[in-house]
Amino acid sequence: MRPTAALPLLAAAALVGLLGRSLLQRDAHAEPTSPLIGTPAPVLDLQRLEGGAPTPQGEVWVLNVFASWCAPCRAELPVLGQLAEQGGVRVVGLDYRDSQDAAAAFLKRHGNPYAATLLDPQGRGSLAWGVTGVPETFVIDRRGIVRLRHAGPVTADDLQQRLLPLIGRLKRA
């Protein structure tokens, strides 16, 4: 093989190597982006399972998308209760692609941290929020602007290191 014929092959190999290296170096803890960050929160005009007004006006609040069939959702319920208590915020639950009976039984069995729970049996409300799976959690500021999307279960570390500090800043703003 002539040396000039090998150049395209070497260039392709170098490109594949650079792409592979960048994929391996990605931060595994980096939050997925959301086009909602910095925009008004979508309206949640859905049937209520229980609780008060679902989307508080003029205050910082949190939306947590969950489902009764989701094991990580069950695991994060106590942390969401701590979030409501320590953060002094309303946590609104959005039950994703579930039946009303299943949602009610799930919250009765495992505890209910939500000030209000909305039902989204067809997933239309969740679609407006760009939900890709459960659980997902959003922080909304007092002007109704989405400030954070957290994909996956909220852990005690997430609560202390990300959510509570952000909520504190938003409440002071």
Q: What is the DSSP letter of 25?
A: T
User: What would you measure as the largest C-alpha separation in the chain, in angstroms?
Assistant: 76
Euclidean distance between CA atoms 58 and 168, whole angstroms: 15
Q: How many CB atoms lie within 10 A of CB 44?
A: 18
**Coarse DSSP helix, strand, coil percentages of the chain, rounded to the nearest 5 percent:** 40, 20, 40
pLDDT in tens, 35-65: 899 999 999 989 999 777 677 789 999 999 9
Query: What are the φ and ψ backbone dihedral angles of 99, each rounded to 5 degrees?
Result: -90, 155
Euclidean distance between CA atoms 102 and 112, whole angstroms: 13
Q: How many CB atoms lie within 10 A of CB 115?
A: 19
β-partners of residue 61 are 90, 140
| 77 pLDDT above the threshold of 60 | yes
| Count of helices and strands (H, E) across the chain | 6, 6
| 89 pLDDT above the threshold of 70 | yes
Band the pLDDT of 118: cuts 50, 70, 90: very high
Which residue matches tokens 């989307």? 55
Euclidean distance between CA atoms 117 and 127, whole angstroms: 17
Euclidean distance between CA atoms 118 and 67, whole angstroms: 11
pTM over 0.75: yes
Which CATH class for the 34-172 domain? alpha beta
Query: What are the φ and ψ backbone dihedral angles of 48, each rounded to 5 degrees?
Result: -95, 135
Contact 90, 118 (CB under 8 A): no
pLDDT at residue number 50: 79
Band the pLDDT of 1: cuts 50, 70, 90: low
Cα R_g (the chain), whole angstroms: 21
Query: Could you tell me what percent of the chain has a pLDDT over 70?
Result: 79
